[in-house]
Structure 1
Amino acid sequence: MISKKLYTGFLILCVVLFAVCTVLTDFSPMTLFANSDAFWEFITEDFLPPALPKASRIPGVFESVLVTLALAMSATTVAAILAFVVSLFGSEKVSPFPRFAKIVRGFATFLRNIPALVWAFILFSSLGIGTGVGFVALCITSFAFMVRAFVETMEDVSQDCVESLQAVGASFPQRVAQAILPSCLSGFLSWFLYCVEVNIRASTIVGMVGGGGVGLTLFSYIKSFQYDIALSIILLIAVMVIAVDRVTSKLRKEILK
């Protein structure tokens, strides 16, 4: 009986929140339904069926896909290396300067709360169009995310080994190499692979605002109103993302066994 009242109250709360949000945003569900015919007409006539670009441009499309994959992998790898070093100073149990651990975590949290798309817009004015914008934007957000993830991984590990090494006079690098890395490596790799998944999707979005790769190619076809070709590229992106997700998910399961 209590659970039924709880569900009913939650449903009512959702309805009230929806009503308040529609008023605050001037969103009208009735307008959406009234214009649904125009939406479906646009989808069926402009987007469907998908079409291939000119034969001379097909190699360029596949090349942009490879650029997107390389962009996500390189940005994640560089960010992971930097995040590992910084996270050692963000964990109060590991850092040689525990008082500064909260500052490190706070800085990572600040960077993490700014989306990669916003970083791309900020960097676009200084770096211009190209993969440099995408790389730096993805690197910043990945770095911030993995600092927090690596710190949490180290905080969950038993500190008996670290304290034993510290008691016998082991230096900070020795404690990291002999205690932290063996205990946390599987967790670090799991978070790294998860971040690769996220960055494959994010690199496409970042690419649409000037970060290079397949996102920029997709946006160029959308701007030229070639929506049928754009749909083919969207399907190609979906296949790429699904393939990467399956591979990384399988690798994470193997690592965490």
Structure 2
Amino acid sequence: MKTKYSSPQQFFMQRRLRLSFVLGLLILIYMVSVILVNFQTFSSLAQVPAGLIWLFKNFIPNEHTASYLGPILYQLWRTLIISISSTICAALLSLIFAVLGAKTTSPNRGFQLTVRFGASLLRNIPVVAWAMILLFSFKQSDFTGFLALFFMTLGYLTRAFTETIEDLDGEKLQALQAVGANYFQCVFCGVLPEVASSLTSWVLYMIENNLRDATLVGILTGTGIGFLFNHYFKGFRYDAAGLIVLLIAVLVILLELTSTQIRRAIA
């Protein structure tokens, strides 16, 4: 079979030219952006070492930080519960919407368009924006944080679940339909068992992601570990704020390791 390149050398030369063009374009975009926002690249980079020294000097927990451990662990536990509960509730609804919106399982075209539009709308609104919008209606409460995470997760998981279902081999569904299976039998016997592993992986990923986002949401809603971090930070208790950051990182790592083990068990 003939190709448009006469030799391997010409092929690699064309790839180098394309790569050089892309890199040059990115550099040009960066330079234009620097000029527009008046960003001082070299002076900013020169301040990085001093900033890191201040960070490690002030945010490292010390012997007095242990007195803050009780309230921090309590608020961290509440934040974890909100992250998990919002993800699970959103996942259940997302599964229903995904079945109705996927091309292989959707009853009609109208459901597909409605589900896709709704998922795109929900997931393209940042979780911070959701928190600020809901703050006016539900005030500063755990429920506000729950709803902010719920709506963002609902859009994200609906899109992910829909694409996962659409990637499923359609021959199995056709075989079930050929033997007389109805719509619900096709979904529960032919679709869900095949995609259960992938859907579980998405849910576990969103729990990890929502734990990180819940910290930022808590600053806005005045609840959870985010509020406590903001309280300590504004009170110049940087050692306690540093302990919060450290514990969040440890908890996220533990969740990731647990998720990995669960994925391996259901694979």
- Output the TM-score relative to the length of structure 1: 0.89
Asked if 1:136 is matched to 2:147, the reply is yes
Asked if 1:4 is matched to 2:4, the reply is no
- Alignment correspondent of 1:63: 74
Asked if 1:152 is matched to 2:163, the reply is yes
Q: Alpha carbons of 1:2 and 1:140: their partners in 2 closer, same or farther (altered >3 Å)?
A: same
Q: 1:110 aligns with which of 118, 121, 139?
A: 121
- Alignment correspondent of 1:251: 262
Output the CA distance in 1 between the equivalents of 2:56 and 2:123.
Answer: 39
Asked if 1:28 is matched to 2:44, the reply is no
- Alignment correspondent of 1:15: 27
Output the CA distance in 2 between the equivalents of 1:113 and 1:52.
Answer: 43
What is the RMSD of the two structures over their aligned residues, measured on CA atoms?
A: 2.2
- Alignment correspondent of 1:43: 55
Output the CA distance in 2 between the equivalents of 1:146 and 1:121.
Answer: 22
Per-residue Cα deviation, 1:113-138 (whole angstroms, up to 9, x for no partner): 11111101111122122211111111
Output the CA distance in 2 between the equivalents of 1:37 and 1:178.
Answer: 59
Contact 2:232/2:238 (CA < 8 Å) preserved in 1?
yes
Per-residue Cα deviation, 1:5-24 (whole angstroms, up to 9, x for no partner): 33333332222111111123
Unaligned 5+ residue runs, structure 1? none
Output the CA distance in 1 between the equivalents of 2:154 and 2:218.
Answer: 19
Output the CA distance in 1 between the equivalents of 2:63 and 2:99.
Answer: 51
Q: 1:236 aligns with which of 247, 254, 264?
A: 247
Structure possessing the higher radius of gyration over alpha carbons: 2
SS of corresponding position for 2:100: coil
Query: Offset at 1:181?
Result: 1.4
- Alignment correspondent of 1:204: 215
Q: Alpha carbons of 1:108 and 1:51: their partners in 2 closer, same or farther (altered >3 Å)?
A: farther
- Alignment correspondent of 2:93: 82
Unaligned 5+ residue runs, structure 2? 1-12
How many correspondences in the alignment? 255
SS of corresponding position for 1:92: coil
Per-residue Cα deviation, 1:168-214 (whole angstroms, up to 9, x for no partner): 54332222211111221112111111111211211122112126221
Asked if 1:162 is matched to 2:144, the reply is no
- Alignment correspondent of 1:96: 107
Output the CA distance in 2 between the equivalents of 1:60 and 1:53.
Answer: 11
Q: Alpha carbons of 1:29 and 1:74: their partners in 2 closer, same or farther (altered >3 Å)?
A: same
Contact 2:100/2:107 (CA < 8 Å) preserved in 1?
yes
Per-residue Cα deviation, 1:119-172 (whole angstroms, up to 9, x for no partner): 011111221222111111111111111111111111111222323333454332
1:165-176 mapped onto 2 (5 Å cutoff): 165-176=176-187
- Alignment correspondent of 1:127: 138
Output the CA distance in 1 between the equivalents of 2:130 and 2:63.
Answer: 33
Name the amino acid aligned to 1:21: S
Output the CA distance in 1 between the equivalents of 2:203 and 2:60.
Answer: 37
